[in-house]
Structure 1
Amino acid sequence: MTKYRTRLLFALISLIIIVLIGLGLLLGQLFKNYYINTFNERLKIEMGIVTTYIEQNGGLNSLNTEEIARMGDMLNARITLVDLEGNIRFDTGEISSTKISRHKDIIREIIGEKPSKQNDLEIGGGFNLHYYWMPVVNDQEKEGYIFLTTKINELKNAYSQIWWILTISLGLALIVIILLGTRITNRYTKPIESATKVAIELAKGNYHARTYEDHIDETGMLSSSVNILARNLQDLMKIKESQQDRLTTLIENMGSGLILIDSRGYINLVNRPYKEIFGVDSADYMYKLYYEVIDQDEITQMIEEIFMTEQKVRKQVVLPLEIERRHFEVYGVPIIGTNKVWKGILLVFHDITELKKLEQMRKDFVANVSHELKTPITSIKGFSETLLDGAMHEEGTLEAFLEIILKESDRLQTLIQELLDLSKIEQQGFKLTIGKVDLRQEISDVLEILKRRAAEKEIKLEMEHTSANAIIEGDPNRLKQVFINLVSASIW
């Protein structure tokens, strides 16, 4: 901006100098013409007096040389009288160092040839000599000419003084104009310079930069507008940073892996869960083509499908990771901006390995329970049919069969309860009631409940424990159910 101010001042000063030089030349020429015209008018009047005196006293043939010489001294001029042939009839002399021969040649040149001017002529390199002439008429007949030669050094000195005065005046005016111009220029360029610096800082991302608002003119409006723009940009940047922080926090802490691919196939974003799941670094993926870093064929085919169809794709895939195979639900969507401009692809990897394991466990459990249900039902049905066929009339057989039916009913009840417990666990509303639990007392109660069933299997249930209390936090009912299931499974 300093260069701009310097260029502006240089242009302004150059223009002012040109104007002042032109004005000085014009004024100098005007003063010169005015002084010369005044000088010629004075010579014309003086020449008229001398000519009138000569004409009234008989012309060239009756000259009173003493009177004419006295007039020359009074006028401080050299008076020369010549006839029509150019012969000098009288010459006062002593007005110039010009030789008489040169003086005659000048007069003959004026008489015999067309002079450069009509009634006056400057001779001797500028303002040294000035010739002024008029014809002498006697009885209405031209007898000759009278020449009045004067030194014009005083004209030259006056003209030089005029130039000195103009130079000094215009120089002082130039200095004053430069000082005022510098001050005025600084007044208007400094706010612009400050606004420019702030604009540069804003372009660099420094939205805290501000400019001064100390004027009420257009530059003040500019500074105010720049400050308003800076404040708005700062507010927008704060909002953007806040949104960016929230988005980054969400992306980096979501439970699923995420990868972003641009329209050219380059990876632009990989979140932390993805890197943890697949054991990769950002440097291995960022700004590289997807098919160069993703070695799973299912994923690359899915990406290519989204590129080709521009449709959402959702697939469940099994991917080998180190020594295990993990299940993923991959959700891929195309990113299409305004005016249907293709932006890229977003892939989300949901790790459903545990869900798959739980689902398989549930299937196995249901299959096992279904198989186990058939045994007590078959036993109950078989013994019931036997009793109906007549065995119920035998007291010993009836008692034995009823005991078997009771035992199988208990077993059936246990299996049904396990199914109900599984259904409760799968429900979202399942809650645990946490409290203090004495493990020794709970296990003792379980053994007491299953003691008779174990005795039927000729199994002895015992509990070994230390004297210290085993108090934990948990759901006593669910813990007791777990212990019953474990011991029951061992008995059966």
Structure 2
Amino acid sequence: MSKFRLKLTGLFVIMIGFSVLAAGLLMGNSYQRNHQAALRDHMIRELHVLNAAAPWPAMENSAEQSLYLQHEAKRFKEIAGMRVTYIRLDGKVMGDSDHELSTMDNHLNRSEVQQALKSGTGSSVRKSETLNRKMMYVAITVHDDQGTANKGIIRLAMSLGDVERSLNNMWLALVFGLFLLFALAAIISYRVALSVTRPLERMTSAAIRMAGMDYAIRVPEGGRDEVGELARALNAMAGSLQGQLDEIRQNGTRLQSVVDNMINGVVMIAHDGRITLYNHEAELLLGSSVRERVGRSYTEIRQHFELVGLIRSGLENPLSIHEELTVYFPEERLLEINIVPMTMNGDEEPGLLLVLQDVSAIRRLERMRSEFVANVSHELKTPVAAVKGFAETLLAGAMNDPETATSFLTIIQDESDRLNRLIGDILELSKIESRRSPLMFSPIDLPMFLDRMTELLASEASKKEITLDIQTEEGLFLEADEDRLGQILMNLIQNGINYTPAGGKVKVRASIIVADDGEDELVRITVSDTGIGIPKKDIPRIFERFYRVDKARSRSSGGTGLGLSIVKHLTELHHGTIRVESTVGVGSQFILELPLLQP
């Protein structure tokens, strides 16, 4: 018998056993509860009969009262066969049918007594400490003749031994029946499991033989049920595998050599020049489809003359080739090309494997890095040369002319300040780009924040008689990094002041708008000026590092050429956007949009 058949049989038996056991437990508990409830009701009726037959005595003397109740308790014990206890309202036992009063403790804390004092009747089931048996206790309160005040408590106690014996007998019958049911279930389950597992065993044996390349094996298909459908599917698969085996063997080596979803373009060329593999990335890089290339000669790639020459060279002289090549179709790209000789399909003459990688972005970054170094060197060289030149002039004798010396020293100080600002901006930009300075977001009262910006720049604006006009919605709060937001607005407003002629105006507006998705809210801050404006051709590059529209004016204003680049990076760190609209001679408008709440 198989392991699966044993497991299936055992599962059926366990399920049936648990079901019967659960039913037995429920039935036993229900029987016990019902029996105890009926016994409790019977004992309550007995208590009322006892109270009517022997009412609580009205005598004042406690000893006489106790003697009378003790006598009545023993008399009722002889009649009803149940233990009777008379308890005073303070818990003292005044009479008991089974024990001497002197040996009994106060019964006020007994649960049935507490229930009787609260609701008139009470009951509990517990083991009696005096009789060492499980008992049921039922108590009622005894009222005076008017029925308004409690005089005492009468309690009956009865052993639950009979109930426990009945339950034990029931459990014995349940266990015996369960064993019989287990045996019957095991026989039935085995028969059911056999009907399920035998066809599966046959199919497993057939699948093992198919794994050994024996596709001639067939499985009896049986009936129209799911197992029969599986057998038919297995037979159909065996027939299909046998027909495709030769084709799989031919294509196996090629399909295992490369993966079509590589991030690099992959092209395989046989020794006779036919293209045998052309993946999706190669389609994107070279601009032609698999259908157009596979099975055809590489010489038909007419859009890439230099690439065809490299392939021809590789076929004529089978050596590894590494080149970088610019292609212009379907768009201009710089490709890194690796050509490796490769034997395919057991041919004696090797073919070629071409791996193509688009390195345009990498080379562009390298060029930008090189340009950045050159720009930094140039920007640093200018103030250093000025400082050095004027210092040499002073040392050569200009110190003797106080007016000239003062002028030169002022220039040296200005150039030193400019050099210090440039170095500070370079370090700041480096820190922002490398994310070494994480943002600390907090709610910002935007009207108050913009007022502080105005105060800081008021003196600078007044020197050029430029009006600063700030307008924002009252109570507008924005979640942002306060210091970084200050850098953004300081740069934008300072730019407006620097590039606006005397007597002009710089305006700042802030309001809430709804994002394009119709759900999120954005804060739009617009900084506009009446300055010289930016030519249309320069707008796409305005946020590049060291890019200046008017280099002479930028230098005279003390700018480093990094302010707007810092603004762009800080805006992106705030998950926002910034754009510029400008007309030459009219002015410029920088539009900053930031999330009201950071994501």
TM tier, smaller: 0.3 to 0.5
TM-score (norm 1): 0.42
More helix by share: 1
By relative contact order (CA 8 Å, sep 6+), the higher-ranking structure is: 1
TM-score (norm 2): 0.35
Pair member with larger Rg: 1
